[in-house]
Amino acid sequence: MMSLDGKIIIVTGGSRGIGEAIVRILCAGGARVYATYNSGADKAAGIVSEVSDAGGIVEFKQLDVTNVEDVMQFVEGVAKDAGRIDGLVNNAGITRDGLIMRMSAKDWADVLTTNLGGAFNFCKSVSRQMMSQRYGRIVNIGSIVGLSGNAGQVNYSASKAGLVGLTKSLAKELASRNVLVNCVAPGYVETDMTGKLNEEQKQTYSHSIPLKRIASANEIAKVVAFLLSDDASYITGQVINVDGGLAM
């Protein structure tokens, strides 16, 4: 039986969608979670109250993952408060879709800075602590479009492809210290991010998925929880597609 009992885990972008599902599943498994949100203070407060009613432990802090100083201070605060950091989930992410001819330099930079730069900021900040305790698990939330590409998403798919390189390089750097680094690459998941799609688009996407449906956020969260558990002690540098067979 997978156990996360007492594990100290940071989750970025835990206020909605996949991040929220990850926070809830980790807390239900006994982890003590330090989560961040960017703008969703009310959502975060609601999750804290529901999780603590169910006997779980989660704290939320407002934080922009692109702010290097704030990320360092947050991570140092967690290490001081909890005494260690067992896991990190780099989940926070944004889209600014558009065909390249119409994509502004700002939309390119915002997506790269948030999705890839944010993960770099957190990986760098937790690495010293994880190396010194000779234990750590990092899970980066990528996307299958980082592997397959997607018209209208050169910025987003480049950021997610970058996460694959970051994951594999960091896995090699930290393996000797028992710090495992992996990437979970979801396909289409029912969240606010895909809520922008209309019914017809959703039907078209579902049709192209071998399992013929879009995933729930919980189906992604369960794989993330496994990678953070002691049962996943011999997996590092991997990209695990959770996509209903879409990227076969």
Contacts of 204 by beta carbon, 8 Å cutoff, 6+ apart: none
Residue from 121, 155, 182, 191 that binds ligand NAP (CB under 6 A)? 191
User: Going residue by residue from 119 to 158, which x/- string records binding to ligand NAP, judged by CB under 6 A?
Assistant: ----------------------x-x---------------
Asked about 156 being catalytic, the answer comes back as: yes
Residue from 16, 24, 32, 137 that binds ligand NAP (CB under 6 A)? 16
The CB-of-65 to ligand NAP minimum distance in angstroms stands at 4
- In degrees, rounded to 5, the angle at the alpha carbon of residue 91 between the alpha carbons of residues 112 and 34 is 130
Within residues 31-60, the interface with ligand NAP by CB under 6 A covers: 36-40
Residue whose C-alpha is closest to residue 130's, from 200, 178, 183, 58: 178
- 120 vs 188, beta carbon nearer ligand NAP: 188
106 backbone dihedrals φ, ψ, rounded to 5°:
-70, -45
Please tell me which residue in 34, 156, 205, 234 is annotated as part of the active site: 156
Give how far the C-alpha of residue 127 lies from the chain's centroid of Cα atoms, to the nearest Å: 17
The rounded distance, in Å, linking the Cα atoms of 200 and 162 is 31
Nearest 10 degrees: Cα torsion 139, 170, 12, 89: 20
User: Going residue by residue from 87 to 126, which x/- string records binding to ligand NAP, judged by CB under 6 A?
Assistant: ----xxxx-------------------x------------
Q: Strands 87-90, 57-62: parallel, antiparallel or unpaired by DSSP?
A: unpaired
Q: Which token pair is 242?
A: 């959770």
- 4 vs 116, beta carbon nearer ligand NAP: 116
The residues binding ligand NAP (CB under 6 A) are 12-13, 15-19, 36-40, 63-66, 91-94, 114, 141, 143, 186, 188-189, 191-194
| Catalytic residue list | 156
